């Protein structure tokens, strides 16, 4: 399964970089979203993928009965998802504001600070 | 010893307070420190004369076995005595010279810091601390040359001095590191005692060139000499102290210090003799083309520095004796003459000696001691300068290489300084009285103290030669690796070649001096030519190219196009990481075909691929947003399928919000249009494919390798008993890594504030 995901994540990264290289600022945002999804999946894949073993402890027990999926990468990814959303929300509003002020969504037209 | 070196820095801290208490007496008060240091260093003399070098060690980084050590032997002690002794008079003198200057406190601060750094240079045993102090002298010199910071010329000269010496400093650092690596120790005393024969090491030539670059720039050797005359823009006490008696001698000091370890090489002898000899001659020659008192003295200082470097290069017994004697003599008379030049400038209001005349009646004391110091400069018996010059001729006659050339250069230089001495002693004080911008008076005691004492010492040492011989020259020769018991200074050696050379130069000098005023116009033409084609023109050319290259580089690197930045970043990562990956794991890296085991996972993966590709090629905004939604929910499915229910829940919530947000905002923005050309798109596709392939290879390599056991085993074990939680991911977030989560909450809160205020801003815009 990790092998399959390796290829999928590679394609996602390629798509993300391609979108971020576009001059339209909206495409930049799409690229950003692709990038954060790709990064999360990368951590998830590298940590090892295991089916049917969530890191939960059954009622009454002190420890999981069988080996469970590694909870630490999951905690990190959870943080990353939420932060990525914060970044996205901020950048979307910022871009909107920039478009209102500058009057273009072409990144190459936004080179100067004094517009 | 540590306190002695650092006391200057400490006093610098409280110098402004001292000035606030009494401006009048601040110079005298602050001078107590160097005077005390002088006495304290002098107390080491008997020990060094009897037992040789001492190393005083303080633990610095004990864990790394690095010591802060100080080396006290004849050489370092002589320099320490000169620095503290002349420093005493300079501080007193500055009190008079800068009387009433609004920034006098700043002057004292930098001057004391400089003095402490200079003591650090000559006393350090550790090469690294030597280098740090060395650079500190460059920086304080910069601040002092540019002391009059409202003067454009002073600022430019300060920067020039800094660039030249700091560039040399970089080379020196490389040299010192090589030296430490070759000998295996960063302590000078170990380097000198090391059994490694440096000149046979394959690194010797680069090492030598780096050290020489540092020392030659610092000590103003041709072709780096031009910064020193320009540094005369500094107030005169600075010129007298830094740019004649001490800082410029740091390079000479280091060369002398390293000569026992490196002096056996032929290259060393050749380079030092050649550059020193040329500097000596050029300095003396340039001195007589100038009429400004300070410029003239600056060039004669260059001559002296060249002489010292040449003597180190020659390296025979006579050369070592001549080195020590000449250095003491030069520091005494040049310090005195610089202070006198300052007095003349201060009292008459002009720097040009050709505008002065007949001052001897108005300033009798100044006149007398000027003559004494100038006689020492001109090397007339019975002054110490004469002894130094005789020994120098003697050493040049025994030079191992370039003997003939050096004799000609030495006689020429002797003529030059004699004329210069005549100009400085006779033109202002004797002859017809001339009107000057200010009406001159005798200088105050604070300004006379230095010249009087230093000039008197030139005479006293010349008459009582056993004092410098026993106390200074002998120990210095010992620390240079020579035999101290063979040192014998005397005024009269009988009629021999050096005496005849002295006589010859005196006759020529008298002839030139008689015509000096008439020669000025033609000498000025030579000076102009030197300015246009000399090394200083090269310096300006280099600076011009530097700014040109800098602005070109800024245009290329800081081009303002986001795509170019990104391509640079991505391709750098791909190249560096890819190279490491292939070179380290290239042999074990396999590119397997994924197994067709789970149809469900395969279909999710396919969904993700299609949505990623569709998002990149679609020209519809809604299509892109929708495919991002598909992508997000597919990722959530993957999380749920592979044992991460919490991630799945979070991803679904966030994805829903994201899609709503995008739909709300993006449709206020213009639709997708093709902005880039097919060529640019092709380039971007190539870059993107490189990035994607790299990530795939990285994952494939990483899943194969496992260097450590997962660190979460402990968290799994402690989750229920210690943290009383059964969802381990939750426990990690709110318990084990609670501070991270707190930080995350702050980030989200900040983003929320930013979003809110930007939306509000727009509302206000619309209202107004």
In chain A, domain spans = 2-50+70-107
pLDDT at B473 over 60: yes
3-state secondary structure of B57: strand
Least confident of A58-62, B119-123, B140-144, B410-414: A58-62
Do the chains contact at A92 and B560, CB–CB below 8 Å?
Answer: no
Contacts of B76 (CB under 8 A, 6+ apart): B122, B123, B257, B479
Do the chains contact at A107 and B561, CB–CB below 8 Å?
Answer: yes
Complex ipTM: 0.94
- Min Cα–Cα distance to chain B from A68, Å: 8
Q: In chain A, which stretches have pLDDT less than 50?
A: 115
Query: Is residue B212 within 8 Å of residue B223, measured between CB atoms?
Result: no
Q: Which of B332, B288, B328 is nearest to B308 (CA)?
A: B328
Residues in chain B with CB shorter than 8 Å from the CB of A57 are 719-720, 726-728
Residue B80 has a pLDDT of 93
Residue numbers of A between 2 and 61 with CB closer than 8 Å to B: 2-30, 33-34, 37-38, 40-42, 44-59, 61
3-state secondary structure of B70: strand
Residue A115, chain B, CB below 8 Å: the answer is no
Residue A115 has a pLDDT of 45
Do the chains contact at B644 and A54, CB–CB below 8 Å?
Answer: yes
C-alpha to C-alpha distance for B652 and B659, rounded to whole angstroms = 11
Rounded to 5 degrees, φ, ψ at B71 are -110, 120
Residues in chain A with CB shorter than 8 Å from the CB of B675 are 22-24, 106, 108
| Residue B52 region by backbone torsions, left for phi larger than 0, else alpha for psi between -120 and 50, else beta | left
Diameter of chain B by CA atoms? 113
C-alpha to C-alpha distance for B175 and B177, rounded to whole angstroms = 5
What is the 3-state secondary structure of B251-264? HHHHHHHHHHHHCC
- Mean predicted lDDT score pLDDT of chain B: 87
Q: Which CATH number fits domain A2-50+70-107: 3.30.460, 1.10.287, 1.10.3470, 1.20.120?
A: 1.10.287
What are the DSSP E strand ranges found in B10-116? Answer: 54-61, 66-72
Residue B382 has a pLDDT of 84
Q: What is the pLDDT of residues B490-519, one digit of tens each?
A: 777 777 887 888 888 888 888 888 887 777
Give me the torsion for CA of B387, B392, B393, B399, rounded to 10°. 150
Do the chains contact at A2 and B755, CB–CB below 8 Å?
Answer: no
pLDDT at B549 over 90: yes
Q: Which single residue is written with the structure tokens 């300004």?
A: B447
Q: In DSSP terms, which residues pair with B368 in a beta bridge?
A: none
Q: What is the pLDDT of residues B310-321, one digit of tens each?
A: 999 998 888 999
Sign of CA dihedral B350, B353, B356, B358: positive
Query: Is residue A63 within 8 Å of residue B726, measured between CB atoms?
Result: no
Residue of B nearest to A52 (CA): B643
Question: What average pLDDT score do residues B151-174 get?
Answer: 92
Do the chains contact at B695 and A55, CB–CB below 8 Å?
Answer: no
What is the 3-state secondary structure of B572-594? HHHHHHHHHHHHHHCCCCCCCCC
Q: What is the pLDDT of residues B88-123, one digit of tens each?
A: 999 999 988 888 888 888 999 999 999 999 999 999
pLDDT at B66 over 80: no
Percent of chain B with pLDDT over 70: 99
**How far lies B423's CA from each of B355, B389, B420, B505, B531, in Å?**
12, 19, 5, 16, 22
């Amino acid at each position: 399964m990790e092998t399959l995901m390796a290829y999928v994540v590679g394609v996602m990264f390629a798509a993300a970089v391609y979108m971020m290289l576009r001059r339209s600022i909206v495409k930049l945002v799409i690229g950003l979203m692709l990038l954060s999804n790709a990064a999360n999946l990368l951590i998830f894949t590298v940590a090892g993928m295991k089916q049917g073993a969530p890191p939960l402890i059954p009622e009454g027990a002190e420890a999981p009965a069988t080996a469970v999926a590694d909870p630490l990468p999951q905690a990190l990814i959870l943080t990353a998802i939420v932060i990525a959303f914060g970044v996205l929300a901020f950048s979307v509003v910022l871009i909107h504001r920039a478009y209102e002020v500058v009057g273009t969504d072409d990144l190459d037209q936004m080179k100067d600070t004094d517009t | 010893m540590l306190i002695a070196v650092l006391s200057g820095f400490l006093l610098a801290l409280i110098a402004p307070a001292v000035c606030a208490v009494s401006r009048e007496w601040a110079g005298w008060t602050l001078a107590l420190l160097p005077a005390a240091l002088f006495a304290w260093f002098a107390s080491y003399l008997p020990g060094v004369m009897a037992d040789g070098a001492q190393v005083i060690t303080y633990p610095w980084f004990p864990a790394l076995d690095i010591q802060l050590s100080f080396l006290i032997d004849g050489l370092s002690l002589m320099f320490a005595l000169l620095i503290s002794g002349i420093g005493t008079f300079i501080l007193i003198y500055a009190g008079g010279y800068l009387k009433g200057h609004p920034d006098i406190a700043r002057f004292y601060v930098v001057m004391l810091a400089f003095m402490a750094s200079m003591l650090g240079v000559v006393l350090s045993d550790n090469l690294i601390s030597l280098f740090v102090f060395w650079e500190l002298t460059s920086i304080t010199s910069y601040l002092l040359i540019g002391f009059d910071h409202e003067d454009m010329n002073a600022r430019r000269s300060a920067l020039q001095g800094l660039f030249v010496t700091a560039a040399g400093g970089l080379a020196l650092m490389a040299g010192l590191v090589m030296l430490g690596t070759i000998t295996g120790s960063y302590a000078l005393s170990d380097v000198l005692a090391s059994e490694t024969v440096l000149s046979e090491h394959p690194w010797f030539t680069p090492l030598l060139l780096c050290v020489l670059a540092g020392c030659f720039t610092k000590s103003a050797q041709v072709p780096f000499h031009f910064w020193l005359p320009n540094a005369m823009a500094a107030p005169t006490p600075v010129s007298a102290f830094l740019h004649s008696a001490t800082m410029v001698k740091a390079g000479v000091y280091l060369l002398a210090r390293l000569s026992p370890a490196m002096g056996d090489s032929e290259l060393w002898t050749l380079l030092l003799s050649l550059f020193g000899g040329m500097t000596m001659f050029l300095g003396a020659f340039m001195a007589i083309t100038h009429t400004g008192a300070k410029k003239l003295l600056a060039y004669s200082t260059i001559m002296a520095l060249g002489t010292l470097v040449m003597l180190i290069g020659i390296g025979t017994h006579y050369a070592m004796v001549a080195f020590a004697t000449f250095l003491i003599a030069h520091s005494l008379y040049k310090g005195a003459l610089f202070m006198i030049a300052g007095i003349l400038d201060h009292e008459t209001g002009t720097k040009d000696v050709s505008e002065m005349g007949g001052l001897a009646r108005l300033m009798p004391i100044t006149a007398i001691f000027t003559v004494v110091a100038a006689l020492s400069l001109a090397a007339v018996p019975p002054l110490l300068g004469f002894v130094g010059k005789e020994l120098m001729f003697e050493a040049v006659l025994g030079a191992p290489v370039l003997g003939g050339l050096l004799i000609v250069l030495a006689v020429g230089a002797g003529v030059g300084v004699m004329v210069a001495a005549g100009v400085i002693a006779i033109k202002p004080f004797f002859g017809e009285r001339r009107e000057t911008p200010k009406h001159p008076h005798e200088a105050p005691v604070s300004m006379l103290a230095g010249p009087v004492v230093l000039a008197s010492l030139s005479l006293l040492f010349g008459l009582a030669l056993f004092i410098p011989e026993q106390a200074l020259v002998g120990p210095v020769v010992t620390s240079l690796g020579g035999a101290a018991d063979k040192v014998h200074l005397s005024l009269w050696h009988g009629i021999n070649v050096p005496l005849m050379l002295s006589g010859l130069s005196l006759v020529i000098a008298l002839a030139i001096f008689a015509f000096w005023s008439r020669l000025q116009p033609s000498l000025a033409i030579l000076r102009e030519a030197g300015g246009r084609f000399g090394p200083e023109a090269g310096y300006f050319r280099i600076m011009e190219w530097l700014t040109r290259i800098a602005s070109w580089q800024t245009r290329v690197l800081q081009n303002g196009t986001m795509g170019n930045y990104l391509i640079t970043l991505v391709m750098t990562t791909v190249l560096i990481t890819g190279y490491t990956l292939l070179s380290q794991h290239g042999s074990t890296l396999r590119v397997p075909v994924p197994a067709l085991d789970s149809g469900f996972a395969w279909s999710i993966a396919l969904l993700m691929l299609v949505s990623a590709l569709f998002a990149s090629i679609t020209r519809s905004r809604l299509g892109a947003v929708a495919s991002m939604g598909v992508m997000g929910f597919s990722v959530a499915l993957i999380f749920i399928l592979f044992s991460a229910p919490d991630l799945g829940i979070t991803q679904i919530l966030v994805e829903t919000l994201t899609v709503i947000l995008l739909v709300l905002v993006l449709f206020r923005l213009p639709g997708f249009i093709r902005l880039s050309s097919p060529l640019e798109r092709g380039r971007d596709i190539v870059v993107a494919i490189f990035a994607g392939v790299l990530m795939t290879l990285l994952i494939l390599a990483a899943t194969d390798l496992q260097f450590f056991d997962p660190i979460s085993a402990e968290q799994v074990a402690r989750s229920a008993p210690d943290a009383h939680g059964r969802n381990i991911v939750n426990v990690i977030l709110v318990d084990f890594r609670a501070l991270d989560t707190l930080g995350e909450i702050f980030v989200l809160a900040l983003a929320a504030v930013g979003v809110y205020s930007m939306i509000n801003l727009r509302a206000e815009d619309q209202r107004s």
